[in-house]
Amino acid sequence: QWSATQYRELIQSYYASKPADVSAVMCFGNHDQSRLVTRVGEQEARAIAVLQCTLPGVPTMYYGEEIGMHDVNIPSNLRKDGFAENAAMGSRDAERTPMQWTTGLQAGFTTAESSWLPIADDYAERNVATESKDIHSFLSLYKSLLSMRSHYEVLRTGTVTFHDAKTDILHYTVSNGSDAISILINFSPERQSVRPPQAATILLSSLLDVSEQPTSDNYELRPSEAVVFLHEREKERYGE
DSSP letters, 11-48, are HHHHHHHS-TTS--EE----TTS--HHHHH-HHHHHHH
| Residue 170 in this model has a pLDDT that exceeds 70 | yes
**What is the chain's mean pLDDT, rounded?**
90
**CB-based contact 72:84 (threshold 8 Å):** no
| Residue 8 in this model has a pLDDT that exceeds 60 | yes
Q: What is the mean pLDDT of residues 21-30?
A: 93
**CB-based contact 199:224 (threshold 8 Å):** no
d(CA 74, CA 81): 11
- pLDDT at position 221 is 94
Overall residue count recorded for the chain in this entry:
240
Q: What is the mean pLDDT of residues 204-228?
A: 87
What are the distances in angstroms from CA 170 to CA 18, 142, 167, 210, 226? Answer: 21, 20, 8, 19, 9
Q: Tell me the percentage of the chain whose pLDDT exceeds 90.
A: 75
| Residue 216 in this model has a pLDDT that exceeds 70 | no
Q: What is the mean pLDDT of residues 109-138?
A: 96
| pTM (predicted TM-score) | 0.91
Exposure string for 180-202, b = 16+ CB within 10 A, e = fewer: bbbbbbbbbeeebebebbeebbb
Strand partners, 221: 192
Which of 63-67, 165-169, 230-234 holds the top average pLDDT? 63-67
Q: What is the mean pLDDT of residues 183-209?
A: 92
Q: What is the mean pLDDT of residues 92-103?
A: 96
**CB-based contact 190:170 (threshold 8 Å):** no
- pLDDT at position 229 is 94
- pLDDT at position 210 is 83
**Nearest residue to 149 via CA among 65, 57, 21, 47:** 57
Residue 182 phi/psi, 5° resolution? -110, 145
- pLDDT at position 87 is 56
> What's the CA angle centered on 49, arms 48 and 55, to 5 degrees?
85
pLDDT confidence tier of residue 198, bands split at 50, 70 and 90: confident
What are the distances in angstroms from CA 218 to CA 151, 193, 195? Answer: 27, 6, 5
Q: What is the DSSP code string of 54-85?
A: HSSSEE-PPTTGGGT-------GGG---TTTT
Q: Identify which has the larger pLDDT, 86 or 56.
A: 56
